[in-house]
């Protein structure tokens, strides 16, 4: 049986990317970026503050970390709830001790169900960005466009009411997007998104509705990947983060400012036997003269304000 010639006919085959959202770019040939006060490494902490319905919808797919055993899955439900009842407050205390600010990607359901957490985040000077509606609010290409638009707008409007201003940033559940997501985010007024992981600096994505900044939070430096999936210790995570900082610091001497992303999950990092190593990590990074702890919005603003 011969292969249909059309099988090899791929209309997007060309040099560079196979889409028009952004062009191929070599990080090491771009004009250097300078962070405020002579700092060379922007340390960007992103906290995923999530609410998992006890019954997953699986539409269009089941979110990572969602319920796993037959309904009612109290085992996993209460483990996730540990983050909102305990873990998130431990992280807030750690941030306050180290004098650092974080970006919190929160489900809109958090604002509805746990308004005290939102108030404490704002009081601590942290930035809140939209992380869909709840952990059933996943996005993929087979999600109808009107449903995706409604999901994005509901998350935006819920936070606008809760915090008094529209969130500037967005992160999808599982960082999953459809072909429509960047455009719909632009239409909804978002300035930046934190789903793509292919860079150490922000860059611009172009849609038919306008542009949006992509700010990468490398999935490899996340507690879900390193601790929950790879079963590493917080001491090991801390060492890898410090190693990454050292590399980026040295690289910045030659090529300009860099970003060190660290993604945290309250029900993972917020457990008591991990907090000592985590607080030591924060203290060590805060003591580095090259470190600029910054929210996602601050990084985007600083980057956009420089000639590139």
Domain total of the chain: 1
Looking at residue 1, its pLDDT comes to: 56
Residue 264, phi then psi, degrees to nearest 5: -120, 150
Q: Provide the token pair at 252.
A: 């910045």
Does 18 fall in a domain? Answer: no
Looking at residue 6, its pLDDT comes to: 78
Looking at residue 2, its pLDDT comes to: 73
| CATH code (residue 46) | 3.20.20.370
Looking at residue 240, its pLDDT comes to: 97
Name which of 210, 300, 227 is nearest 265 in CA terms. Answer: 227
What is the reported pTM? Answer: 0.95
Residue position matching structure tokens 């610091």:
249
Does 17 fall in a domain? Answer: no
Looking at residue 308, its pLDDT comes to: 60
Low-confidence ranges of the chain (pLDDT < 70): 1, 307-308
Does 201 fall in a domain? Answer: yes
Does 14 fall in a domain? Answer: no
Does 4 fall in a domain? Answer: no
Does 12 fall in a domain? Answer: no
Looking at residue 3, its pLDDT comes to: 76
Element (H, E) at 148: helix 145-163
Does 114 fall in a domain? Answer: yes
Does 22 fall in a domain? Answer: no
Q: What is the pLDDT of residues 83-125, one digit of tens each?
A: 999 999 999 999 999 999 999 999 999 999 999 999 999 999 9
- Integer Cα distance of 149 and 185 in angstroms: 8
- Integer Cα distance of 186 and 207 in angstroms: 8
Looking at residue 307, its pLDDT comes to: 62
Domain boundaries, position 263: 32-304
- Sequence-distant (≥ 6) Cβ neighbours of residue 225 within 8 angstroms: 219
């Amino acid at each position: 049986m011969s292969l249909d010639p059309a099988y090899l006919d791929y209309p997007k085959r060309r040099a560079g990317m196979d889409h028009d959202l952004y062009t191929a770019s070599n990080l090491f040939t771009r004009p250097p970026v300078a962070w405020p006060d002579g700092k060379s490494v922007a340390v960007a902490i992103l906290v995923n503050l999530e609410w998992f319905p006890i019954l997953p919808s699986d539409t269009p797919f089941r979110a990572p970390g969602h319920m796993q055993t037959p309904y009612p899955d109290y085992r996993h439900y209460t483990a996730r709830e540990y983050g909102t009842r305990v873990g998130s407050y431990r992280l807030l205390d750690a941030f306050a001790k180290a004098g650092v600010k974080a970006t919190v990607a929160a489900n809109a359901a958090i604002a509805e169900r746990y308004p005290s957490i939102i108030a404490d985040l704002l009081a601590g000077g942290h930035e809140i960005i939209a992380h869909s509606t709840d952990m059933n609010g996943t996005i993929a290409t087979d999600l109808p466009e009107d449903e995706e638009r409604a999901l994005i707008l509901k998350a935006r409007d819920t936070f606008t009411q809760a915090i008094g201003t529209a969130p500037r940033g967005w992160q999808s559940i599982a960082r999953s997007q459809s072909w429509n997501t960047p455009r719909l985010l632009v239409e909804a007024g978002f300035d930046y998104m934190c789903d793509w992981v292919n860079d150490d600096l922000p860059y611009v994505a172009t849609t038919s509705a306008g542009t949006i900044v992509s700010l990468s939070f490398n999935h490899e430096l996340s507690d879900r990947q390193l601790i929950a999936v790879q079963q590493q210790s917080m001491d090991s995570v801390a060492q890898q983060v410090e190693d990454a900082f050292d590399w980026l610091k040295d690289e910045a001497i030659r090529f300009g400012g860099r970003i060190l992303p660290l993604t945290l999950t309250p029900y993972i990092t917020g457990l008591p036997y991990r907090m000592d190593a985590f607080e030591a990590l924060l203290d060590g990074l805060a003591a580095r003269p090259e470190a600029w702890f910054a929210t996602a919005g601050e990084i985007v603003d600083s980057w956009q304000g420089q000639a590139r």
